[in-house]
Structure 1
Amino acid sequence: MVIQTISLVIQDPPDMNLQDFLKADMLVPKKLLHEMRMSKKVTVNDDHPLWTKPLQSGDRITLPIFPERVEPQATAMPVDVLAEDEHLLIVNKKAGVDTHPSSETDHLSLSNGVAYYFQQTNIQAKVRHTHRLDKDTSGCILFAKHAMSGAILDKLLAERKIKRTYLALVEGIMKTKQGTIEKSIGKDRHHAQRRRISPSGQRAVTHFKVIKEFSSENLTLVELHLDTGRTHQIRVHLSSIGHPLFGDTLYGAKNKYHRHSLHAWKLAVPHPFNDSTITAEAPLPKDFGPAKLSLT
């Protein structure tokens, strides 16, 4: 799915000129906006526009998509595509894989695999992940296919319009079956990789609901929604109420396992260029928890 231009029709006059509209409404970055102007490829109603002229209802704007160098380095690996169109891509990440390269010599991240997918499907774009997942967290990750899509998706995420649903297997039987954890999170001065509850940290809000209990194993399956996206937010919040993720020894789990049991289950993304919503669901992987549990 490769596109070279984006066409938009102005429905309600935005009371601004073309340049201000692209900056304010379309979130075109300054460098890209300059490139568009210099290219002479932007048109309004199929004509070269006067950039300072106010836009009118019914105006049709056509914007170029510039080819980019595909980066990071492409690595041939399977990529499990859950949803896709010309502007975005949703991929199911396996546990044990980094979202992006951890160093200059790391070429085995999901982003390296998506770069290969871009090459194979003739998408000439930098790999842009809108959000990320911890290495041992599996599930849905959203990528943009070009710079304009990336800018808009970043804003939608910041405005909490992209809805993410997680599943977690936690230690202990949760007495409270549904609720909200609102505790600020900051860095742990004594451990570079850890985060901790901190009154001076960033505001963090997690909503949870118990889905299933496993009394004999002393484990609970929980559904979670986030109002914020802090580093290790779910892991820190659940640990703070005495229910660390199964296998998450960094945050106090008693059970050792090759991964922590957190999965980005569902993703609902408002489309960056129309009124539709793109949805995806990543099935629970077989290694999500102990093999003897029936999680469905």
Structure 2
Amino acid sequence: MHTSSFSISVPAQTAGKTVEEALRSEWKFGKKQIHAWRMNKAIDLNGTLTEWRTVLSPGDLLTIRLEEEEKPSYLPDPIDLSILYEDEHLLIANKPPHIDTHPNQPDASGTLANGVVHYLRQKGKTGYAQPIHRLDRDTTGTIIFAKHAAVKPLLDHALEQRSIKRTYWAHVHGDVSHSNGTIDQPIGNDRHHNSRKRISPTGQKAITHFRKIQFNQNQQTSWLELQLDTGRTHQIRVHLSSIGHPLAGDTLYGGKKTIHFPFQALHAVKISFTHPFTAQNIVIETPDPVKPGRFYKQTRK
């Protein structure tokens, strides 16, 4: 086993709480995890093993030692990365097109996650890197990775509670008639096509909000900004196709490839959330994919 650690600088709003209170109520660690740290004497305060009833002050440094397997989360693979944000606990990468978020088999490589593991190993880290959410193979943009096992469940919970907000840009065929709107249609499996989803009365609830940015007369496409209340597989692709405006380049759901849209024109342009340890509001934007095509060289009006 390989021992690693991470640190939390106590913010002002956490001051006055005991170590145990902060772990439980402020940072939302699970009871099982807290108990394990107590038994293993795994937490130091300002470099010294401390009593769990010690009251915290602003700027105190809690260091928590973790037991992690030596092997990384995935096989390391030296893939070019665009890192948008990084701290001791997490990083946000800008995913390029034509690459999966993570491998489906333990011994596979060539995905964004493999590249993040390689990047972290090069920095002397254990190689723990777990994506908190995913994007389809040809969708580009922001993805959060947990850098240690303790922060992952906190980020998972934030995603489940929809406190991690994601904004997308899409280019769709045709002139969308409304300046904004909401698509509220349940999504289920397509019995006739294993890789497709479809609108289904018995499917899972799915809600997509959109705002029209502009219409391109020459390309006959509309540029939309979207936000989701739910996170169903292929949600944006299914919903936009259902209203007669499939994503440009998305042949699976009725779109067509063109010189401007050689693959599905969907980009996760912004992500925002409250940092689980610092309580800072993190807002990360990436107006262009890693390898921007002509369809993203427009400027917002």
Same fold (TM > 0.5): yes
- Distance across 2 between alignment mates of 1:194 and 1:129: 23
Query: Amino acid of the residue matched to residue 62 of structure 2?
Result: T
- Distance across 2 between alignment mates of 1:255 and 1:287: 18
Q: Is the 8 A contact 2:186 2:200 kept in 1?
A: yes
Query: Amino acid of the residue matched to residue 95 of structure 1?
Result: P
Query: Amino acid of the residue matched to residue 40 of structure 1?
Result: K
> Does 1:269 find its partner at 2:279?
no
- Distance across 2 between alignment mates of 1:79 and 1:204: 32
Give the match for residue 39 of structure 1: 40
Q: How does 1:25-64 map to 2 (within 5 A)?
A: 25-29=26-30, 32-43=33-44, 48-49=50-51, 62-64=62-64
Q: 1:123 aligns with which of 122, 125, 128?
A: 125
- Distance across 2 between alignment mates of 1:117 and 1:35: 30
Give the match for residue 234 of structure 1: 236
- Distance across 1 between alignment mates of 2:218 and 2:173: 12
- Distance across 1 between alignment mates of 2:134 and 2:295: 30
Give the match for residue 102 of structure 1: 104
SS at match of 1:216: coil
Q: How does 1:92-241 map to 2 (within 5 A)?
A: 92-241=94-243
- Distance across 1 between alignment mates of 2:113 and 2:290: 23
SS at match of 2:278: coil
Give the match for residue 66 of structure 2: 66
How far apart are residue 131 of structure 1 and its match?
Answer: 0.7
Give the match for residue 8 of structure 2: 6
Q: Is the 8 A contact 1:42 1:49 kept in 2?
A: no
- Distance across 2 between alignment mates of 1:43 and 1:292: 51
SS at match of 1:208: strand
The RMSD of aligned alpha carbons is 2.8
- Distance across 2 between alignment mates of 1:247 and 1:116: 31
Q: Is the 8 A contact 2:5 2:64 kept in 1?
A: no
- Distance across 2 between alignment mates of 1:271 and 1:246: 35
Q: Is the 8 A contact 2:131 2:145 kept in 1?
A: yes
Give the match for residue 78 of structure 1: 80
Seq. identity, %: 41
SS at match of 2:150: helix
How many aligned residue pairs are there?
A: 288
- Distance across 1 between alignment mates of 2:202 and 2:33: 37
Query: Amino acid of the residue matched to residue 210 of structure 1?
Result: K
**Structure 1, unaligned runs of 5 or more:** none
Query: Amino acid of the residue matched to residue 190 of structure 1?
Result: H
Q: 1:255 to 1:65 in 2, by over 3 A?
A: same
How far apart are residue 84 of structure 1 and its match?
Answer: 1.1
The normalised TM-score by structure 1 is 0.86
- The 10-residue stretch of structure 1 (3-12 or 72-81) with the greater mean CA deviation from structure 2: 3-12
Give the match for residue 93 of structure 2: 91
Query: Amino acid of the residue matched to residue 37 of structure 2?
Result: M
Q: 1:287 to 1:243 in 2, by over 3 A?
A: farther
How far apart are residue 187 of structure 1 and its match?
Answer: 1.4
Q: Is the 8 A contact 1:75 1:112 kept in 2?
A: yes
1:35-70: CA deviation from partner (whole Å, max 9, x where unpaired): 4233212257855436xx6x8675968351425332
SS at match of 2:104: coil
How far apart are residue 7 of structure 1 and its match?
Answer: 4.7
Q: 1:155 to 1:12 in 2, by over 3 A?
A: farther
- Distance across 2 between alignment mates of 1:8 and 1:114: 28
Give the match for residue 295 of structure 1: 298
1:7-48: CA deviation from partner (whole Å, max 9, x where unpaired): 54744659xx93x86456534356644542332122578554
- The 10-residue stretch of structure 1 (278-287 or 76-85) with the greater mean CA deviation from structure 2: 278-287
Q: 1:225 to 1:198 in 2, by over 3 A?
A: same
- Distance across 2 between alignment mates of 1:292 and 1:253: 15
- Distance across 2 between alignment mates of 1:146 and 1:265: 25
